Amino acid sequence: MSNRNRRVLLKEFDWVLIGLAWMVALALGYYGFQVYFQWSGVSVNAFDLIYLTLQLVLIESGGIITPIPWQLEIARFALPLLAAFTAIKTLALVFLLQAQALRLFFIRGHVIICGLNDQAILLGRGFAGTGDSVVYIESDEGNPLVEEARSFGAVVVQGDPERGDVFTRTALARARQLICVHKDDRLNVQIAVLAQRIVRETRGGVLPTFIHIVQPQLWDMLQAKAMGSRDFDHLRLELFNMYDHGAKVLLQETLAVHPLLDWQAGRLLVLGMGNLGQALVVHAARAAFEASDAGGDHLQILVIDREAGEKCAALQYRYPQLEKCCRLVSMDMDFSSTTFTKGAFLYNGAGGLAFDAIYLCLEDDTLNLNVILSLYHHLQNQPVPVFIRSQQGDGLTGLLGTDTEGGSLLNLHMFPLLNRTSTPDILMEGCREVLAISLHQEYVRSQLSAGVDPSLPVLQPWPELSENLREANRKQVDRMQRHLMDLGYSIRPDPEWGEQVQRLTEEEVEQVACLEHSGWCEDLRRNGWRHAAGKKDPGRKTHPALVPWEQLSDADREKNRIPVREFPDLLAGLGFRLVNTGEA
């Protein structure tokens, strides 16, 4: 039994065990007194026996003398010890709750995670490992993960996340960010809507908020609202999906194992079209789309699932570019069938394996084991890498081994999905964050090409930037989105994968650049900066560019125009496009 399972067992049954111990001790005391008085020839009624038994709790044995029945002897020691243990445990619980309330009274800059599951635990451990304070909101008082969360210093507040009072208790107004990882997409959205209202009323500025969304249509709708509307103007709303992120990571690991794999002409086999399998097909096809040229070969993907045809058709409807960049073939097949076990689909006409990589994306670890065992004799000692999704562990590798002399599966690679996708780093790959990084990189490139000193703090790589400078880039993204909406544009998911990018006219570029400069000036003045000639001086908070647009030099105006011109291409790279509201 694992340590977690032992903790879960103790958590679920500790008070039950204590209650049983009390019942046994009281029964022994009652029966022991009954035997004692029978030996003494004294007649007592049941109420007297109950009274005397309860007195044992206070170490009052009624002045009895030897000989004493063994049942009573045990009860005389057990009941006072149980009373002391129960009192200490109750006081410890009360103290914990009071200490937690006190800690929340002073806490600030913390991370709030709504939902307490394995994904939340891994995220919380990651934040705690970097010194961040973590606060969980969990409605289930009996959740066995509560103790595990507290073991690494997290605070667990029990309450309904759809009620505003629980956010008051978790000091949402002073939090650094909010993360929602409930299994229910609807609940994550409801929490974001509630947080938007609370932040508007209690907090200055915006709150970075990350919500986990799996359902594809809901994802598209929310991305449009998060990137191209004012519905969440007080949240810096980012969506994330462990399956989508996991597919990207899995393809990166494929290249690490098979560096010569050509996405444009590769041959992939995907077993299981659940959330991970579908995301894998889409990202592999997108890699092929970005690598493709006119008249080139096409990526070939064979998908096997009980409903492979229907799921592939739904993907092709959602992503029209799939048909242009890959040949997607579906086979409806039961993984327990004899046809599947024979594995004819694995081979090409020459009798060799027909694929460059194989992915087992089934959601059940046991089913994955059954599938790989069914295909074992086909894949034995073959060079083709086989990637197997698992929840967290890599037990199959140990089971099947890697010793070719023993006839093992040499190229087996486990992919523990939760471990790969439940780290704070996943939040750094949100659309706004990537846009902020891209804008910074464009700024650095333009400044270095203009001969600016590369040692300046503002020109350092993103990981080395101060948090203030990073936040300045994030605010620039926020402002540019608002300015584009003011011009009548919205930002929406792009099913065409950037094949046609909506360009801004030079007049629009000028308008947005002017608005962006004004917004930048307001932000700096709000933080105590003022205009002064000469060089920028962070110590004195003076900047020579804190002037109206008309008074800027041509070089400084062009510095503002460059990111505006680049913005549509940056959006396209992330799967978004600008849409003129009048054309929608």
What CATH code is carried by the domain that includes residue 157? 3.40.50.720
Q: Are residues 262 and 302 in the same domain?
A: yes
> In angstroms, rounded to a whole number, what is the distance separating the alpha carbons of residues 187 and 388?
30
Q: Tell me how crowded residue 329 is: count the other CB atoms within 10 A of its CB.
A: 15
Q: What is the pLDDT of residue 547?
A: 93
Q: What is the pLDDT of residue 212?
A: 95
Q: What is the pLDDT of residue 105?
A: 81
Q: Are residues 252 and 386 in the same domain?
A: yes
Residue 500 lies in a domain: yes
DSSP track, 467-486? HHHHHHHHHHHHHHHHHHHH
Residue 324 lies in a domain: yes
Residue 470 lies in a domain: yes
Q: Are residues 159 and 307 in the same domain?
A: no
Residue 102 lies in a domain: no
Residue 80 Ramachandran class (φ > 0 left, ψ -120 to 50 alpha, else beta): alpha
- Residues 310, 238, 439, 287, Cα dihedral to 10°: -20
Residue 425 lies in a domain: no
Q: What is the pLDDT of residue 340?
A: 94
Residue 218's domain spans which residues?
Answer: 107-240
Taking only the tens place, the pLDDT of each residue in 26-78 is 888 888 888 888 888 888 888 888 888 888 887 776 667 778 888 888 888 88
> In angstroms, rounded to a whole number, what is the distance separating the alpha carbons of residues 162 and 481?
29
Q: Are residues 369 and 435 in the same domain?
A: no
Q: Which of 63, 94, 125 is the last residue of a domain?
A: 94
Task: With beta carbons less than 8 A apart as the criterion, state whether 413 and 253 touch.
Answer: yes
Q: What is the pLDDT of residue 397?
A: 54
Q: Which of 94, 124, 139 is the last residue of a domain?
A: 94
Q: Are residues 254 and 402 in the same domain?
A: yes
For 155-247, where are the E strands, in sequence order?
Answer: 155-158, 177-180, 207-212, 235-240
Q: Are residues 569 and 494 in the same domain?
A: yes
Q: What is the pLDDT of residue 392?
A: 63
Q: Are residues 199 and 314 in the same domain?
A: no
Q: Strand 267-271's sheet: what is its strand order?
A: 326-332, 299-305, 267-271, 357-360, 386-390, 412-416
Q: What is the mean pLDDT of each run of 10 residues along the chain (584 residues)?
A: 49 72 87 85 84 81 77 85 84 69 83 95 94 93 87 90 87 93 94 92 86 91 80 88 93 90 89 96 91 71 95 92 90 94 90 91 89 88 89 58 50 90 84 88 87 88 90 88 87 82 90 92 90 88 93 90 89 85 57
Residue 530 lies in a domain: yes
Task: With beta carbons less than 8 A apart as the criterion, state whether 235 and 222 touch.
Answer: no
Tokens (6 digits) for 82: 């149980």
> In angstroms, rounded to a whole number, what is the distance separating the alpha carbons of residues 328 and 312?
8
Q: What residues contact 437, with CB distance under 8 A and at least 6 apart?
A: 462, 473
Question: Residue 54 half-sphere exposure, CB side, CA atoms within 13 Å?
Answer: 5
Q: Which of 420, 452, 483 is the last residue of a domain?
A: 420
Q: Are residues 278 and 342 in the same domain?
A: yes
pTM of the model: 0.78
User: β-pairing, 267-271 with 111-114?
Assistant: unpaired
The dihedrals phi and psi of 266, each to the nearest 5 degrees, come to: -75, 170
Q: Total domain count for the chain?
A: 4
Q: Are residues 274 and 292 in the same domain?
A: yes
What CATH code is carried by the domain that includes residue 572? 1.10.490
Q: Are residues 412 and 435 in the same domain?
A: no
Residue 514 lies in a domain: yes
Q: Are residues 250 and 296 in the same domain?
A: yes
Tokens (6 digits) for 461: 């790589």
Taking only the tens place, the pLDDT of each residue in 540-568 is 999 999 999 999 999 889 989 988 998 98
Residue 426 lies in a domain: no
Q: Are residues 412 and 456 in the same domain?
A: no
